[in-house]
A = this chain, B = another copy of it.
Amino acid sequence: MVKNCIENVRRKAPLVHNITNYVTVNDVANALLACGASPIMSDDREEVEEITSICGGLNINIGTLNQNTIPSMILAGKKTNELGHKVLLDPVGAGASKLRTDTAVNLMKEIKFNAIRGNISEIKTLALGSGSTKGVDADVADAVIEDTLDSAITFVKAFSKKAGCIIAVTGAIDLVSDGDKCYVIRNGRAEMSKITGTGCQLSAIMTAFLIANPENQLEAAAAAVCAMGLAGEIGWSNMQPGDGNSTYGNRIIDAIYNMDGDTLEKGAKYEVR
């Protein structure tokens, strides 16, 4: 019942602390508001522990990471662990530079995450970079499509088990696993990749879903993925002649804003493997 997951977010209105990049931060804030949560952005080391303490959870996104924000991520993340709050990692660009890979891997060592969400390339980087290749076959193809689905599911399950948290790999087909089960989700549209930040928005929303559904973590994470993908479908159906990626981005957030539990339940396209 993914329906309950979004309804719990709207009912509980969780406050989500975000240490995130400055590229997509405005859309992240509006996406959180759209799904019924509330955003706080704060990345100075002097206040992140205090800010995260008043929130229900923390969304760490390493896009535009820098020397000032990396220590803040560690501090805030450790504090969430201490408090039993939810904490999610979005390893944006892991693999693109040593700094990003090392930071993501180090964050995984220092902080016990509830979930990690990225594209297949980022998640593979973490699987390799964290020295977890034993038992995890990271030699999975670079795109999760029907042809590569089986090996991708095996990979995601194995890495989830190894990492000890939910792993969400988003792409043409989305996979969300807790090591045991794997949601295979077929919502969304290819055109979403022509908008900056839909992944960042999803990570923030997923954090809100995890906070609001403490007893149903895997389904909550999967429901967030379904909601984002479905919003991409609804937003696209509202496109007018002349509209492009900028307007499409607005319509996706609008679709989240207007999405009720029944719409999500009816529109979610997933199977559990």
Shortest Cβ gap from A24 to chain B (Å): 6
Best-surrounded residue of A44, A194, A195 (most CB of chain B within 10 A): A44
B66→A26 contact, CB < 8 A:
no
Q: A33-B195, A66-B68 are in contact. Are A253 and B246 (CB under 8 A)?
A: yes
Q: Which of A78-86, A94-102, A150-158, A161-169 faces chain B?
A: A94-102
Docked Cα-Cα span, A247 to B239, in Å, equals 13
Q: Which residues of B contact A251 (CB under 8 A)?
A: 242, 246-247
Q: Is A63 interfacial (CB-CB < 8 Å)?
A: yes
Q: Which residues of B contact A128 (CB under 8 A)?
A: none
Docked Cα-Cα span, A47 to B253, in Å, equals 32
Q: Chain A: residues with CB nearer than 8 A to chain B?
A: 21-27, 29-30, 33-34, 39-47, 50-51, 54, 63-68, 93, 96-100, 194-197, 234, 238, 242-247, 249-258
Q: A46-B67, A196-B30 are in contact. Are A253 and B245 (CB under 8 A)?
A: yes
Q: A26-B27, A30-B195, A194-B34 are in contact. Are A244 and B249 (CB under 8 A)?
A: no
For the complex of A and B, 3 pairs with smallest distance between CB atoms: A244-B257, A244-B254, A246-B253
